[in-house]
């Protein structure tokens, strides 16, 4: 028959086993042996039913006390073992936070996108809005409305990418300049108009300084009192802002464009500093853009009266501006999938161009 001394010995033995358990599985074996369905303490609890009332008064509290004591000891030991395991894992899997973090690849802004941003900032400060239009154009907007004669070389297939005619028989082509945006704006707006039209254009060229697809920005101002002096002042201010110099010397040479009259090419005095151009010094002249007063035929084609309205227009290559300002000698890598080139010439997308802190 079980005595209180037996229960005390049982308590001592299992407490020693609990204390000796070195891990969670070993502790679980002790728990099952003592408190499982067939454990020693559990079996003795069943024996209470065969005892007399007086014996149950003695052994009931003793067995319940033993069970509770072992349960608390097992829980305490389990908590200690889990803490030891966590500390061991932390010690073996420690990360040295003083080491530099691995470099993550980051993108950069393409020079063309950077120059587009710079142009938008400069001309926005002059009151210009940005206008856009489709890359696929028709003959009227790309040539006819711009006063191109029917036999003009630009209408030939060796200069222009023509496409299949539309369902209505209209000739379609990839625009050769962004001037069609000016036509569409004039036809859908009431003067005064002051816009720039940046975007992709397409011509049949491929060499060191020409590609079949490149970028242009064109400007248009239409009002009742606009004159050549406004054109010159606008472009001189633009060159000074874009090349970030107050020393600007320019000249306007007579030229011919179908859509302007009079027409001119604008040259700037410069010198080479490495592959980049330093504007405002040196003894050389560089043609930078084309410009002129909008031809009356163009104004008339847009439904306006050239005796009432007049204006000026200008156009320049965005890619060429990037080459001149940032010292790139070859245009073709602009359109090649080489991340090394872009990491060298690219710009941080977080540093947006602005006139207050500097464009570039």
Annotated binding-site members for Mg(2+): 261
- The candidate with the shortest Cα–Cα distance to 322, out of 114, 47, 10, is 114
**Which residues, 6+ apart, have CB-to-CB distance to 345 below 8 Å?**
111, 326, 328
In whole angstroms, what is the distance from residue 334 CA to residue 15 CA?
A: 78
Residue 348: count other Cβ atoms within 10 Å of its Cβ. Answer: 11
Q: Does residue 138 sit in helix, strand or coil?
A: strand
Binding site, by residue number, is 261
**Which residues, 6+ apart, have CB-to-CB distance to 139 below 8 Å?**
155, 170, 171, 173
Identify how many contiguous H helices and E strands the chain contains and give both numbers: 11, 11
Q: Does residue 277 sit in helix, strand or coil?
A: strand
In whole angstroms, what is the distance from residue 120 CA to residue 273 CA?
A: 26
Return the axis-axis angle of helices 318-326 and 111-125, rounded to nearest 10°.
Answer: 100
Return the axis-axis angle of helices 24-35 and 53-92, rounded to nearest 10°.
Answer: 170
Residue 317: count other Cβ atoms within 10 Å of its Cβ. Answer: 20
For the chain, the distance separating the N- and C-terminal CA atoms, rounded to the nearest angstrom, is 96
Q: Does residue 119 sit in helix, strand or coil?
A: helix
């Amino acid at each position: 028959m079980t005595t209180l001394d037996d229960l005390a010995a049982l308590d001592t033995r299992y407490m020693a086993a609990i204390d000796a358990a070195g891990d969670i599985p070993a502790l679980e074996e002790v728990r099952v042996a003592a408190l499982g369905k067939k454990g020693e303490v559990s079996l003795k609890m069943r024996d209470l039913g065969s005892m007399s009332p007086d014996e149950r008064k003695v052994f009931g509290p003793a067995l319940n006390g033993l069970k509770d004591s072992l349960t608390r000891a097992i829980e305490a030991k389990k908590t200690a073992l889990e803490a030891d395991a966590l500390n061991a894992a932390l010690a073996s899997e420690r990360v040295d936070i003083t080491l530099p973090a691995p470099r993550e690849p980051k993108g950069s802004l393409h020079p063309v996108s950077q120059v587009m941003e710079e142009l938008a900032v400069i001309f926005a400060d002059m009151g210009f809005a940005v206008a856009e239009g489709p890359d696929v154009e028709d003959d009227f907007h790309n040539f006819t409305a711009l006063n191109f004669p029917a036999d003009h070389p630009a209408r030939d297939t060796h200069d222009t990418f023509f496409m299949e005619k539309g369902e209505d028989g209209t000739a379609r082509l990839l625009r050769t300049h962004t001037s069609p945006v000016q036509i569409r704006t004039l036809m859908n707006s009431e003067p005064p108009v002051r816009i720039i039209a940046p975007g992709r254009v397409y011509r049949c060229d491929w060499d060191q300084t020409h590609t079949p697809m490149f970028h242009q920005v064109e400007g248009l101002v239409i009002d009742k009192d606009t004159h050549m002096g406004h054109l010159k002042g606008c472009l001189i201010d633009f060159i000074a802002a874009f090349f970030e110099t107050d020393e600007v010397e320019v000249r306007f040479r007579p030229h011919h464009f179908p859509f302007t009259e009079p027409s001119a090419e604008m040259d700037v005095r410069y010198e080479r500093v490495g592959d980049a151009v330093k504007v405002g010094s040196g003894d050389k002249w560089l043609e930078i853009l084309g410009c002129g007063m909008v031809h009356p035929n163009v104004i008339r084609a847009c439904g306006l009266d050239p005796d009432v309205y007049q204006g000026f227009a200008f156009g320049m290559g965005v890619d060429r501006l990037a080459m001149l300002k940032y010292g790139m000698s070859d245009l073709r890598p602009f359109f090649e999938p080489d991340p090394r080139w872009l990491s060298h010439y690219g710009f941080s997308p977080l540093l947006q161009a602005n006139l207050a802190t500097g464009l570039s």
